[in-house]
Amino acid sequence: DAKTTQPPSMDCAEGRAANLPCNHSTISGNEYVYWYRQIHSQGPQYIIHGLKNNETNEMASLIITEDRKSSTLILPHATLRDTAVYYCIVRDLHASGGSYIPTFGRGTSLIVHP
């Protein structure tokens, strides 16, 4: 029961910026947007999260629209090692007394090519 929509696949040239979109039109006021990625045969890796302000860390930038209905993950200078499936997740008040339990959609398969 993922609440996000992402394109199934994207590709990007090495060294260029990769912009991965995510729609979360039903997001509520207290829900955060999280991004994870999963490189083949590894566990998901946390990238970044935000509530309404744009966020930046050493891995990526997260741009959240003013109405919070969509966001974009930006990898400023993509490398071949950034090839992975990228998951956009919103805080899911799923059972367990309101604890945050990440549920995954299909994500975006990003392929970075030389």
Binding residues (CB under 8 A) for another protein: these are 32, 34, 36, 38, 41-46, 49, 51, 87, 91, 95-96, 99-107
From start to end of the chain, where are the E strands?
A: 9-13, 18-23, 33-38, 45-50, 55-56, 61-64, 70-75, 84-90, 108-113
Q: Smallest distance from the beta carbon of 22 to another protein, in angstroms?
A: 15
Using DSSP, state whether 5 is helix, strand or coil.
strand
| Pairing, β 84-90 against β 33-38 | antiparallel
Q: Smallest distance from the beta carbon of 71 to another protein, in angstroms?
A: 14
Our CB check for another protein shows the closer of 95 and 114 to be: 95
Our CB check for another protein shows the closer of 10 and 49 to be: 49
Our CB check for another protein shows the closer of 81 and 114 to be: 81
CB 3 within 8 A of CB 88: no
Q: Smallest distance from the beta carbon of 85 to another protein, in angstroms?
A: 8
